[in-house]
């Protein structure tokens, strides 16, 4: 053996095996709970002094699910844009697994089934100017405060907030986060605060190697936007309605970060249902400023 080669072999044998190995970073366990913070705004119903015309308002076509009253893209200020081009939903659009989906993501080539439209209706929204007040602080019209929701990780890896199982809201019998707060409870035999909106802005990193779902079940109005695109449209005054978005149909890029913006309104007694199921690891991206007075 060549002397130089012999020396190399000896030196190599003296090098500890650990020095030849690159450090392996252990994967962190997913968090057991996701806490997301948004803004809740309290309103007075239309029949009382200073009330908002859209709260306790019945759609011209009767109570039910209405779509199309907001644009398919978020406005430049990150708020939904009223179109007034809504319609009653006689039958929801569904994906190939039979899950209700938003009309805006319908794709026949994926095996989706077309829904059925009814008559034109604004879904109990008086006008564009009245809708603009829903998710903006307007002194004398609404009062706002922060609201944090806790999503608990399930055995299947999904995160769930459900008013039926949440320790706070299950005791209340529904999603009533501001009972006896802000403007106070609504007049009537049921001592609850029924008239409010909730706005939540989050972000997530898209993982193409897993199933990516977001599902909402509840009432009344709910609009969800991903990357500024409308993906859930449950407008109107109704009992609990369900929609799911499979993010894999949106053309997102693996490893990229995207926004998920959520807008909710509770406008009518006597129920308030709110359930979200998702396997996205969401985090609060921003909390809108709250300019209305809050003690």
The confidence score (pLDDT) of residue 254 equals: 98
294 occurs within a structural domain: no
250 occurs within a structural domain: yes
59 occurs within a structural domain: yes
Strand ranges, E, within the chain: 33-43, 66-67, 87-91, 93-94, 100-101, 116-120, 142-153, 159-162, 196-205, 213-218, 221-226, 229-234, 241-246, 257-266, 274-278, 283-286
Does the pTM exceed 0.85? Answer: yes
The whole-number average pLDDT for the span 252-269 is 98
Please state the domain count of the chain. 1
Q: In this predicted model, what pLDDT tens digit does every residue of 174-229 receive, in sequence order?
A: 999 999 999 999 888 889 999 999 999 999 999 999 999 999 999 999 999 999 99
C-alpha distances (whole Å) from 14 to each of 1, 4, 183 are: 19, 16, 77
Q: Any alpha helices (H) in 52-134, and if so which ranges?
A: 128-132
8 occurs within a structural domain: no
Q: Burial code of 156-193, b = ≥16 C-beta within 10 A, e = fewer?
A: eebbbbbbeebeebeeeebbbbbeebbbebbeeeeebb
Most confident of 13-17, 21-25, 84-88: 84-88
Measured CA to CA, the distance from residue 148 to residue 168 in angstroms comes to 12
4 occurs within a structural domain: no
- Among residues of the chain, what percentage have pLDDT more than 90? 84
The whole-number average pLDDT for the span 156-170 is 97
10 occurs within a structural domain: no
91 occurs within a structural domain: yes
The confidence score (pLDDT) of residue 27 equals: 64
135 occurs within a structural domain: yes
- Mean pLDDT rounded to a whole number for the chain: 91
Among 30-39, 151-160, 185-194, 233-242, whose mean pLDDT is lowest? 185-194
Which residues constitute the domain of residue 101?
32-286
């Amino acid at each position: 053996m060549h002397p130089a080669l012999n020396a190399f072999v000896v030196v190599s044998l003296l090098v500890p095996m650990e020095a030849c190995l690159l450090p392996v970073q252990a994967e962190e366990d997913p968090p057991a709970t996701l806490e997301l913070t948004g803004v809740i705004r309290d309103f007075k119903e239309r029949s009382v002094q200073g009330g908002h015309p859209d709260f306790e308002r019945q759609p011209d076509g009767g109570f039910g699910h209405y779509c199309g009253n907001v644009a398919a893209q978020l406005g430049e200020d990150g708020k939904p844009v009223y179109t007034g081009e809504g319609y009653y939903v006689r039958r929801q659009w569904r994906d190939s697994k039979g899950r209700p989906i938003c009309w805006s993501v319908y794709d026949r080539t994926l095996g989706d089934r077309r829904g059925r439209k009814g008559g034109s209706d604004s879904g109990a929204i008086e006008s564009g100017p009245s809708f603009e007040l829903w998710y903006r602080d307007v002194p004398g019209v609404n009062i706002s405060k922060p609201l944090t929701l806790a999503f608990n990780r399930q055995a299947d890896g999904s995160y769930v907030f459900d008013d039926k199982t949440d320790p706070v809201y299950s005791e209340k019998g529904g999603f009533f986060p501001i009972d006896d707060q802000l403007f106070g409870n609504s007049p009537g035999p049921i001592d609850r605060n029924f008239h409010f909106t909730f706005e939540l802005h989050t972000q997530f990193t898209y993982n193409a190697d897993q199933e990516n779902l977001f599902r909402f079940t509840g009432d009344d109005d709910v609009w969800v936007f991903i990357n500024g695109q409308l993906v859930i449209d449950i407008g109107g005054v109704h009992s609990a309605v369900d929609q799911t978005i499979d993010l894999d149909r949106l053309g997102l890029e693996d490893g990229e970060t995207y926004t998920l913006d959520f807008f909710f309104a509770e406008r009518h007694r006597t129920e308030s249902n709110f359930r979200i199921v998702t396997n996205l690891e969401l985090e609060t991206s921003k909390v809108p400023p709250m300019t209305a007075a809050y003690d």
